[in-house]
Each structure stands twice: as C-alpha cells, then as structure tokens.
Amino acid sequence: MTLIKSISGIRGTIGGAVGTNLTPIDAVTFAAAYGTWIKQQREKDTYRVVVGRDARLSGEMIQGLVMQTLVGMGIHVIDLGLSTTPTVEMAVPMEHADGGIILTASHNPKQWNALKLLNAEGEFLNAEEGQKILDIATSNQMTFAPVDALGKVTKNEAYFGLHIEEILGLDLVNIEAIKKAKFKVVIDAVNSTGGIAIPMLLDALDVDYIKLYCEPTGHFPHNPEPLKEHLTDLSEAVVKERADFGIVVDPDVDRLAFMDETGEMFGEEYTLVACADYVLGKTPGNTVSNMSSTRALRDVTEAHGGQYEASAVGEVNVVAMMKKNTAIIGGEGNGGIILPELHYGRDALVGIALFLSLLAERKVRVSALRASYPNYFMSKKKIELTPDLDVDAILKAIEVAYRHENPTTIDGVKIDFEDSWVHLRKSNTEPIIRIYTEAKSQDEANTLADRFIGELNALAHK
C-alpha cells in the first residue's frame, strides 16, 4: 500500500500503517499543517476553508477528520459535502474563503484518496507553498485553538447550482442553439459526483440524456480513468440508444472525454482541441497546454491567428503560463479544460457546455468534427530503473545527444522533430522515466517511443 507526499498534496491508499498509507493520523496531520499554513498567510480574527469530496467510499470518513481538525484549529469550515473539484475551486472565492480542500484521488481506483489543497483564489498551491506545508507537517509544529475559539462547520449544498449558473451566464455558451439542437447523450459518471452535476447542467440546456453509472455510491463500475479500454459499456450504450455522443468524466469531474455517435472515442487529447477551436472562433487569443499534450492544439491555435505555448506538466504550471501569456483557454491533454473567464481550474462541466455549443452551431456529427482536426497519434510508455541510477544524468545525456534539435528542458527533455515529438520526464516518486511520443500514425508513435526506450536503457547500463 502507498502514501505519497508531494507539493501538490497527500494521497495514498486507505488502511494500514501510519506514515505508509493514508490513515486517519496522516489525514489529521496534513490537514493541521494546511490549517497552520492558512493562518500564516495573514493575521485575521476568523479564517474560513471550503471542503468538498467526490463519492469514493472513504470520502465521508476523510472529510470528517479533515473538517474537525480545522475546527480544532479555530478555522470555520464551509462543508459542500459531495462536490466536484471545479465546484470547490469556484466556491472558495465566492465564499471569500482563505482556501479549500478537495478530497479526491482523481482517476485512481477506489482504495485511494487524497487531500488536494487550494489557495484563497481557489487555485492549486504552487511548489513553494506546497513545500511549506510538507515542512510544517514534518516539524509537527501545529498549534490548536482553546475551547472558546473553536471553529464551526456550516453546510452549503447550493454550489452545484451556483456553478452551473455561472457557466450558463457565459456569452460563449449558446443556450438557445443547444436547446434547438435537441441533443441526446449518454453519461458515464463512474458512480461519482458527475452523476449529480452533469444531469443538472443538461437539464438546464434541454439536452436529453441516458444515465450510465450516475449513482454517487463510490463503487466504481470500471477503472475510473476515462480511457477507451475502460468504456465498452458506454460505447455499447451510445450505439444502442442512437445517441449523438457519449460523455465520460473521472470521479472528481475535472477530466472530460467524449465518444462519437458510432461508439468510437473522440480522443481525450481532442477535448481541449475542440473546445479551444470553438472559443478561438469567437474570441481570438492565445492558448496553453502542457508539454505532453497533442500538437493539434498548436495547429488549431495558429489557424485562428493565436499563439500557442507549452508549460511544464501539472495544472499549476499550465495556469501560471496561461496568466503569463493571457491565454483565453488552456488545459491538459487528459481532457482538462481551463477557461479563465470562469475560473483557473480544469472543469469538465464548462467543457461540456462549450462542446455542445460548438456542435449546435456547426450542425455537425461528432465523428465529422473529429475528422476535421489534424490527426496525431500518441504513445505513452515508461521504463523502470534501479533506484541507484542517476535519472537526471541520463536525461542530460539525451539532451546533449539531441542538442541540434534545440530540446526543451523545463520539465524533463522534450524534442520536437518536424512531424513528431518525444517527451521524457522522470517520476517524482519512483525510479521511472515516462516516455510520451506523438506522430502522424500510431506505428510511428510506437516506433519513436521504442527507439528512445532503447537509448535510455543503453545509457542506464553504461
């Protein structure tokens, strides 16, 4: 079993020994460290933190521990209960809170959970802030409030509705066109909170839907990562119901993928491409995605007269680059849509609204829309190395060997060839190098990945 402490939060498997799994002790320690950090940001009479969770089985237990720890520190808690990551992100500034905690392990299986931490803007903490919380947790220098200064918990279940209201208020969302289109879709929400939020959004847009795995029980019916091999039930349902397309999200509703009317995947990488195509067609501007995302976003952005730039992997890095370049849309190739006009966080709900608007205005089937975009194919592989190897030195050797290709080194090594690219980056938690490639065919992408696996292995055994 596993416990991973990183600058982006703490995640692990439920049960087991303290310090090696996500136990109640670990949840309390980390929540107290976060509460301490919140108080260090500015001196106030009262502090407020928003807390919400996805539907996984351990969520209620972990949320109770986290909230009562904050109460013990004299911090007031706004309890959203079952929620989504983007809903919590939006609730923090709307509540004028000092921060937020989302209890979710995203696409990880049911035995996992995590504490994901937000600042007062409702955005993920940066590396420096995350490291401070890790240091506080390690130092065990947390101070709790006396009995007369304990915090209080206030439940607020209005934020799904408020989140959807904000989406419907965007000029980009063509409500009239969507309602006229009379779409029919199938939703796979992996029995988590997307099963609550997505029907609410579709009801507001007069979209007919069939619910597949939309009961927020936390019993995931398949691997919750929205990949083709996990979605055979959705594929069959889309065809059987003669739906216009299928919608699938991960447990905390920040990743979004579509399935076309034939039951084929639209491509998780192309969720952002399609939404960006729509937004750029309305409001010219710049885009950002991470270095491991498809080149198709660059192509679409440049076709609209904008500029594209790639950031290091990680939502906080994408957001920082978007702010720097005043990007009007961005995100990650794992189906994460970030629309700054709404908030700086990946949001599957706004992605659904933008995608529906695009389809309604163009009056095109999903398969035809996908065929209209540049066609790239990805390979995602990894190699495991022995712990004694110097991974940084191996990546440096690759950088030197390909210096004539002007590699990018802000996050591992990325080499852009004329018709393909390869991105090599090390894991922060394991002796692993991840190899991402993209090319004009699947065979070319796989061959390129295998070539670099061979080169990395040769360097590792020198």
Phi, psi of 449 (to 5 degrees): -65, -45
For the chain, percent helix, then strand, then coil, each to nearest 5? Answer: 40, 25, 35
8 Å CB contact between 188 and 72: no
Phi, psi of 184 (to 5 degrees): -130, 125
Query: Which strands, in side-by-side order, build the sheet including 421-426?
Result: 377-384, 432-439, 421-426, 413-416
8 Å CB contact between 36 and 69: no
Query: What is the Cα 16 distance to its own chain's centre?
Result: 28
CB atoms under 10 Å from CB of 320, counted, come to 17
E runs forming strands in 147-212: 153-155, 184-188, 208-212
Buried b or exposed e, range 151-175, using 16+ CB within 10 angstroms: beeeebeebbeebbebbeebebbbb
For 341, the token pair is: 């006009």
Measured CA to CA, the distance from residue 187 to residue 190 in angstroms comes to 9
Check 106, 311, 357, 379 and give the catalytic one: 106
**C-beta pairs of 129-134 under 8 Å, 24+ apart in sequence:** 129/7, 129/37, 130/6, 130/7, 130/8, 130/9, 131/7, 132/37, 132/40, 133/30, 133/33, 133/34, 133/37, 134/5, 134/6, 134/7, 134/33
For 197, the token pair is: 């939020």
Spatial CA neighbour of 389 closest among 456, 436, 326: 456
8 Å CB contact between 427 and 385: no
372 is catalytic: no
In angstroms and rounded to an integer, the radius of gyration of the C-alpha atoms of the chain is 22
Cα-based angle 180, 183, 185 (whole degrees, multiple of 5): 160
What is the DSSP code (8-state) at residue 404? G
CA distances from residue 241 to 57, 228, 261, 368 in whole angstroms, order as listed: 31, 19, 10, 19
Measured CA to CA, the distance from residue 386 to residue 125 in angstroms comes to 31
Kind and range of the H or E run holding 235:
helix 232-240
List, by residue number, the catalytic residues: 106
